[in-house]
Amino acid sequence: YQRRVRGGKHYHNNFFLCGNGRCTKYDKVCNLWDDCGDGSDEENCSNNFICGGNREIIPLSKKCDGIAHCGDMSDECNKNCGKEIVNDFLLKVATWVIGLLSMILNVAVLVDHGKSSIKQCKTNVSLTNDVLIFLIGVGDFLMGVYLLSLAVVDSLIYKSDYCSKQFSWLTSRYCSILGVISTFASQLSLFSLTALSVFRACGVFSAHSTPGSINRKGVLKTALTVMTLVVISAAISVVPLFPFLRDFFVNGIVYNKSMRIFQGQI
């Protein structure tokens, strides 16, 4: 660069003037390092991204690459990229609709089933059958509670702020409670449906025998089955929260290194 001044003299402008008045060589401009001390030599560069918090400078190729390189996660949580609890619009709608319908319809089924079917059972077979169907309804209702709660948190509480606040959410007690509810609901429905299938399969092989009327032994057998299913489902949903297993299930240790849970946190 050459500039002519009064008197015919000239000088070579080989330096970049920083915003703070300092000078640095042009080959140090946009080199992903703050040579000026105020970051002015890295501003308006097309090859970098300046983090929002500590003004750390990273290559532009690391912006929105799915891995947080900035301490404040600004390279992954900005107007160009980010994430919500439920990202897709159709999934958001489905979460609200399925959650509401699951709660409303299963409440109706449980009330009707509890008032009529179970009370009118006259044999041990029908009692066990109706109780297992009732448990499936309970599991489906709880899954509706989980989906509706998730929709409320996603659409009404965090919204687009979830990306920068995901660490707070994932380590919150409310998130843990929702995790317990969803796991318990899915396992209870699964085990109850499996038990019902096994029970009916056994009924096929004993189709020629006459079902016995309800008696104390049959009631105790059904109650034991219910308790077993509930206890196993509850154990599976609560065990991950035990302190000695928390590192594996909760605190960010993952099954696959390419699938990161917590990013940008120390």
Residue-wise pLDDT tens digits, 188-226: 999 999 999 998 888 777 655 666 677 778 789 889 999
pLDDT of residue 39: 87
Most distant CA pair in the chain: distance in Å? 121
pLDDT at 163 over 70: yes
Distances (CA, A) of 97 to 91, 155, 185, 264: 10, 13, 18, 34
Instruction: Provide the percentage of residues in the chain whose pLDDT is more than 70.
Output: 82
pLDDT in tens, 50-78: 888 778 889 998 988 878 888 888 888 88
For residue 209, the model assigns a pLDDT of: 61
| DSSP 8-state symbol, 211 | P
- Per-residue pLDDT band for 107 (boundaries 50, 70, 90) equals very high
More confident residue, 241 or 95: 95
Checking phi first, is residue 21 left (phi over 0); if not, alpha (psi -120 to 50) or beta? left
Question: Cα separation of 114 and 134, whole Å?
Answer: 8
